[in-house]
Amino acid sequence: YYTAGAVETFAKDWNAGIIRIAMGAEGNGSYLEDPGGNSDRVVTLIDAAIANGLYVIVDWHSHRAEKDVDVAVSFFKALAEAYGDTPNLIYEIYNEPLDTTDWAKTIKPYANTVISAIREIDPDNLIIVGTPSWAQRVDVAADNPLTGHSNILYALHFYAATHKDELRRKADYAIKTGLPLIISEWGTVTYNGDGYMDEKSTREWMAFAKKHHLTHLNWAVSDKNETASMLRPKANPNGGWTTEDLTPSGRLARDIIRDW
């Protein structure tokens, strides 16, 4: 679904204002193994987002990004050179650090290195930093935020059937300290992407996002056989989907986004 047609469908049928390009940065088939083919996919979606007037997040989709900091720096510098002069582009430099990854000792130094490299080229586009424990411990980041950089956002991720009031309390605390958040990934289901869909909890999270004016992006644009996927198997890669092409999660996400 890394196609211009899919992006156009989100812009024109879903009334989306933003898309997120998940650029796999660890494991089989990722950027580490195939930088050329994966870069082509990213470029296709960025160009389509710009053509449709959308913001576009390029997400370095890794749980261990600090292990390949030089590769991340090279990737984001090339991205900044190519698109740093358009306000559409948003950099997400670390998707979801693990629960064992230390904020102060590991994530912050990584973030400072990658942000500094981007800022040498692009002085002002938004940059999203992942927070500990799969982008849930925004309270830890709030107590020790990055300094010396501007236009920085901090990632908050939730899966509605798993994460509820306890995580919202952490987010509330971060917001009250002045930490700028973005919900760069959320699902209607359990944290593993394949549990039951919890519409009640999803609606509670959407009320929270609306109350605090938080941008949010639903996971996932996929026809994988799991409940988090928006699309049923074999839905057209080029978009133009009907409601019959959407999973229950996809229909709920579309309703939310269209009415936002």
SS3 assignment, position 229: coil
Distances, alpha carbon 205 to alpha carbons 15, 18, 57, 259, in Å: 20, 19, 21, 15
Kindly write down the DSSP assignment for every residue of 90-137, as one continuous string. Answer: EEE--S---TTS-IIIIIHHHHHHHHHHHHTT-SSS-EEE--HHHHT-
Has 33 been annotated as catalytic? no
Cα gap 188→219, rounded to integer Å: 8
Indicate the residue type of 214.
L
Which value, in Å, is the radius of gyration of the alpha carbons in the chain?
A: 17
- List the one residue out of 90, 89, 22 whose CA is nearest residue 62: 22
Q: Choosing from 26, 81, 185, 244, which is the catalytic residue? A: 185
Q: Choosing from 26, 81, 96, 199, which is the catalytic residue? A: 96
Has 166 been annotated as catalytic? no
**Which residues participate in catalysis according to the annotation?**
96, 185
